Amino acid sequence: MDTVQVLHFIFMLGTFDLGLAYSTAGLSPTQSQMTTELGQYGLIYRPSASSEYFYPTKLAISLTANPLDPEEPTQSKSEQGFIILETNYKLYAYTDSPLQISILNLFCVLKARFSNMIMGLISRESVRHALSNGITAEQIIMYLTAHAHPQMRKNIPLLPPTLVDQIRLWELERNRIKTDHGYLFRDFKSTLEFNEVVQYAEQLGVVLWKDQDKRLFFATVASSGLIIEFVKRRNE
């Protein structure tokens, strides 16, 4: 199985609600296979292998949620939050769930662990490590929001804006370079020829880059044949 896809699904599992149906349409083949295998352990209910929906079971919710106080069995899920965040990126999680601790360890540096609480720090390195494993900034933010402690829910906004913005910036920092495959068109006989060919390519929406002064432009691989044919017809 694809480890990244497995991590994605486990990450999502922590935000599911009991009794709600979830579509399999957006799942990768690995994640779809996981719904079947987790069903064998009683964590997921999927009526059949071809079913378009699946349901998280009470066991799955119990494993991914903070244990309830036995004296307060009627707590709603929103009151089961266990994460407190500070503006200095420190994190306190009131949980002893091995699964939740493992998930936090994906994007947080764990500094100390007690019987029912862990202390950690969300850092540039820990977030970049999560991003390299295929976890997105939005998934981290959604997880922190879904499991925020009741005390945090009194805040508006719920999560510290500086932390949310920084997590997104760390992702942008990693994704700031984008590569595209294509062909470079050059050596045009005149500015007129260059302008006409570029205009044709722009009408197709395939120009990735151009330099008007040097009479150069870069277009997608799929469009190269059409552009070459246009140049041939123009020069006939």
Indicate if the pLDDT at residue 78 is higher than 60. Answer: no
pLDDT digits (tens, 9 = 90+) for 149-207: 988 888 888 999 999 999 999 999 887 777 788 999 999 999 999 999 999 999 988 99
How far is it, in rounded angstroms, from Cα 146 to Cα 83? 9
Average pLDDT, the chain: 85
Supply the pLDDT for residue 191: 94
Between these two residues, 72 and 219, which has the higher pLDDT value?
219
Structure tokens at 13: 């599992």
Indicate if the pLDDT at residue 66 is higher than 60. Answer: no
103 and 22, same structural domain?
Answer: no
Q: What φ, ψ does residue 41 adopt, rounded to 5°?
A: -100, 5
Question: Where residue 64 falls among pLDDT bands split at 50, 70, 90?
Answer: low
105 and 139, same structural domain?
Answer: yes
156 and 78, same structural domain?
Answer: yes
Tell which of 27, 61, 95 closes a domain: 61
72 and 170, same structural domain?
Answer: yes
Indicate if the pLDDT at residue 216 is higher than 90. Answer: yes
* Number of structural domains found in the chain: 3
pLDDT digits (tens, 9 = 90+) for 124-146: 999 999 998 888 898 899 899 98
Asked if 217 contacts 210 with a C-beta cutoff of 8 angstroms, the reply is yes
Matching residue, tokens 């100390």:
112
- Taking residues 57-62, report their average pLDDT: 77
Indicate whether this model's pTM tops 0.75: no
Between these two residues, 46 and 7, which has the higher pLDDT value?
46
148 and 95, same structural domain?
Answer: yes
Identity of residue 49: A
79 and 29, same structural domain?
Answer: no
Percent of the chain with pLDDT over 70: 90
163 and 133, same structural domain?
Answer: yes
Between these two residues, 74 and 234, which has the higher pLDDT value?
234
Q: Give 149-153's long-range contacts (Cβ < 8 A, gap of 24+).
A: 149/81, 149/82, 149/83, 149/84, 149/94, 150/78, 150/79, 150/81, 151/84, 152/81, 152/83, 152/84, 152/85, 153/78, 153/81
Supply the pLDDT for residue 65: 58
Indicate if the pLDDT at residue 76 is higher than 80. Answer: no
Tell which of 150, 174, 198 closes a domain: 174
Question: Where residue 21 falls among pLDDT bands split at 50, 70, 90?
Answer: confident
57 and 78, same structural domain?
Answer: no
- Taking residues 35-50, report their average pLDDT: 85
Domain span at 191: 182-235
77 and 26, same structural domain?
Answer: no
147 and 77, same structural domain?
Answer: yes
Supply the pLDDT for residue 77: 42
CATH of the domain at 209: 3.30.70.2610
38 and 8, same structural domain?
Answer: yes
199 and 144, same structural domain?
Answer: no
pLDDT digits (tens, 9 = 90+) for 98-133: 888 988 999 999 999 988 899 999 999 999 999 988
